[in-house]
Chains A and B, each alone.
Chain A
Amino acid sequence: MSAEIFYAAAGMGRKVRASALVASDGFSARYDLDRVRGLFSRPEHKLAGQTYHGRVLVLDAAKGGVATAWMLHEMKARGVMPAALVLNRVNPIMVQGAALADFTMISGFDCDITKVIPNYAEVEVDPQAQRPLIRLV
């Protein structure tokens, strides 16, 4: 593995390039976000107060309830959404939501992806590569 490319076990959606927003914390659209303002809003979240719009979110695990399955679709329709989700571990809800919204997501690494992608780094996420990957650019 190149030092700047990290391969995922699974992926869906289109190739995207954007700035990374990284934290060793979970992700739930219902629990964590103010979807109107495009902010992490749960006070305990490590990204509380930060804008997620247009960023590649690099986080630990999908959390929380089933609402995210609809919310990714709704966020995309309003145009206030992350560019992609990169997770160590997914739950089915995140996969279902990404499938409905045609959203870019990859997950499952042989390292802790939140430890190797620097915050604000420019990254490319390619779910359609022979092996889904995130690359530092």
Chain B
Amino acid sequence: MKLSHEEQAMRGGEFGPLLQWAIEHQIKVGDYLGAADFVPVTQAHIMADTESLGRAGVEWLEHWTALPVGQRQVRVPTITDPRGTDFAHAQKLKQQSWMLDLERRAIAAFEALGVLMTDTCINYQTIMPPVRGEHVAYGDTGVVIYCNSVCGARSNFEGGPSALSAGLTGRTPRYGYHLDAQRRATFVVELSSTPRELSDWGALGGIVGRLAGDYSQVPALTGVDCVPGPDALKHFGAALASFGSVALFHIVGVTPEAIQLADVIPVGFALPRHAIGEADLRAFQGRYAMDIGAVDLVVFSAPQLSLMEMRTLAGLLDGRSAKIPLFAVTSPQVKPDCDRMGLTARIEKAGGTVLSGMCFYQSYAREIAEGNGWHRLATNSAKLVNVIGGYGYRPVLLSMAQCVEAACAGGKLVARTQS
């Protein structure tokens, strides 16, 4: 990689050992992935729950905090993805004290590095959405795909170590979705039926993700007959990234780089085309645990819920009573608004629990399942059904209304093939 004088100085240790490690890490990654040089970034976003970090990761972070302050501060605004707990509800989740201790240590270490503990995967809805053409270093696949696609920003998937490096150096290797050539569509999806429910937008993301198959693929969707809202695109993008490792999509007439399909088609190329309709959405939904008749809990998470989703959920629960655990996970920015506007009280009056600043699957999902005897889980998040099976759950994908019905029926599932 071509290095500027400042980057050479970082590599030479003139800014201390942390920046030296950070730029070396970035060069190693950039060399592997064919980056010619670095590109400055304006923001970084770090995924670093302690289930991922483990004790070794927390200790690795802590050892940098012994440096003088001037050698251990991020250079650009650097924020965090959800944590592994909501301390206010950890006991209810039956999280163990060592988990909470590890979380506290990780938080202290990040704060010592100048990181802002926003603890959210919906920063594009609540903190500072990037603008078209803005180069950023984001570290949650759902955040990356939304900001690349809907905002027109430029980021690769930046795992925790790389996002932290970008925060420290103020730059990232210029490869992948920082480059114009990588942002063209590689296949076209023709929709004959536009999803309405958030769970169906997630199912569509899952189907397209399976078609895509890897990080270099960029789908372009045609046939969307309405303007999907931010929450629909949030669920679509999160599932697409989760199932397909995809970081960018275009929806013709909706997302900013695809006013027309021709805008994102490489000149002279005939791209593969796939047709997707209502039957495909139902078939996708049907893949998940159709043989079970009841669930043990209902979870709304992954991504964290927006204020509008919280409002919808509160409305569905008004006058009802959940007979099994029902968790609604939102961000620390949305939660105070929910408290102030009475949404938290309405959800909790119906027996639900509002969790803040965490994500269900990033919160020691296996251990809390064992502690609570949870096995079968209903959610409206296609991303969550994709992730949570690896933690020993049997997930079911339903609409938000169906999830509420299940919770109020003691977990019993009815009418599962209709959205």
- Residue in contact with B366 in the complex, picked from A34, A44, A96, CB distance below 8 Å: A34
B140 at the interface (CB under 8 A from A): yes
B330 at the interface (CB under 8 A from A): no
- Residue in contact with B389 in the complex, picked from A44, A68, A74, A77, CB distance below 8 Å: A44
Q: Are B162 and A91 in contact (CB under 8 A)?
A: no
Please name all residues of chain B whose beta carbon is closer than 8 Å to the beta carbon of A45 when the two chains form the complex: 390
Decide yes or no: A77 and B158 within 8 Å by CB, A42-B389, A66-B141, A100-B25 being known contacts.
no
Q: Are B161 and A43 in contact (CB under 8 A)?
A: no
Please name all residues of chain A whose beta carbon is closer than 8 Å to the beta carbon of B32 when the two chains form the complex: 10, 12, 95, 99
In the bound complex, CA of A45 to CA of B389 (Å)? 10
Q: Are A73 and B389 in contact (CB under 8 A)?
A: no
Interface string of B27-56 (1 = CB under 8 A from A): 011001100000000000001110111111
Please name all residues of chain A whose beta carbon is closer than 8 Å to the beta carbon of B342 when the two chains form the complex: none
- Residue in contact with B140 in the complex, picked from A42, A66, A68, A77, CB distance below 8 Å: A66
Please name all residues of chain B whose beta carbon is closer than 8 Å to the beta carbon of A76 when the two chains form the complex: 56
Decide yes or no: A92 and B29 within 8 Å by CB, A66-B158, A69-B159, A70-B54 being known contacts.
yes
Q: Are A30 and B159 in contact (CB under 8 A)?
A: no
Q: Are A31 and B48 in contact (CB under 8 A)?
A: no
In the bound complex, CA of A10 to CA of B81 (Å)? 30
Decide yes or no: A68 and B54 within 8 Å by CB, A61-B245, A63-B245, A100-B25 being known contacts.
no
Chain A contributes a number of interface residues (CB within 8 A of B) equal to 39
Q: Are B57 and A65 in contact (CB under 8 A)?
A: no
Please name all residues of chain B whose beta carbon is closer than 8 Å to the beta carbon of A65 when the two chains form the complex: 47, 140-141, 241-242, 387
In the bound complex, CA of A43 to CA of B392 (Å)? 8
A93 at the interface (CB under 8 A from B): yes
B315 at the interface (CB under 8 A from A): no
Q: Are A64 and B29 in contact (CB under 8 A)?
A: no
Please name all residues of chain B whose beta carbon is closer than 8 Å to the beta carbon of A38 when the two chains form the complex: none
Interface size class of B (residues with CB under 8 A): 35 or more
Interface residues of B in 191-221 (CB under 8 A from A): 213-216
A86 at the interface (CB under 8 A from B): no
Q: Which among B140, B213, B245 has the greatest number of chain A C-beta atoms within 10 A?
A: B245
In the bound complex, CA of A51 to CA of B129 (Å)? 42
Q: Are B389 and A43 in contact (CB under 8 A)?
A: yes
- Residue in contact with A30 in the complex, picked from B215, B216, B245, B387, CB distance below 8 Å: B387
Q: Which among A41, A65, A73 has the greatest number of chain B C-beta atoms within 10 A?
A: A65
Decide yes or no: A73 and B56 within 8 Å by CB, A10-B32, A66-B158 being known contacts.
yes
Q: Which A-chain residue is minimally distant from B367 (CB atoms)? A: A36
In the bound complex, CA of A97 to CA of B389 (Å)? 23
Please name all residues of chain A whose beta carbon is closer than 8 Å to the beta carbon of B33 when the two chains form the complex: 10, 92, 95
Q: Are B54 and A77 in contact (CB under 8 A)?
A: yes
Please name all residues of chain B whose beta carbon is closer than 8 Å to the beta carbon of A100 when the two chains form the complex: 25, 161
Decide yes or no: A67 and B47 within 8 Å by CB, A43-B389, A92-B33, A99-B161 being known contacts.
yes
Interface string of B69-109 (1 = CB under 8 A from A): 00000000000010000000000000000000000000000
B156 at the interface (CB under 8 A from A): yes
Q: Are A31 and B158 in contact (CB under 8 A)?
A: no
Please name all residues of chain B whose beta carbon is closer than 8 Å to the beta carbon of A42 when the two chains form the complex: 389-390
12 contacts between A and B (CB under 8 A): A34-B392, A41-B392, A42-B389, A43-B389, A62-B245, A63-B243, A66-B157, A69-B159, A70-B159, A77-B56, A93-B159, A99-B28
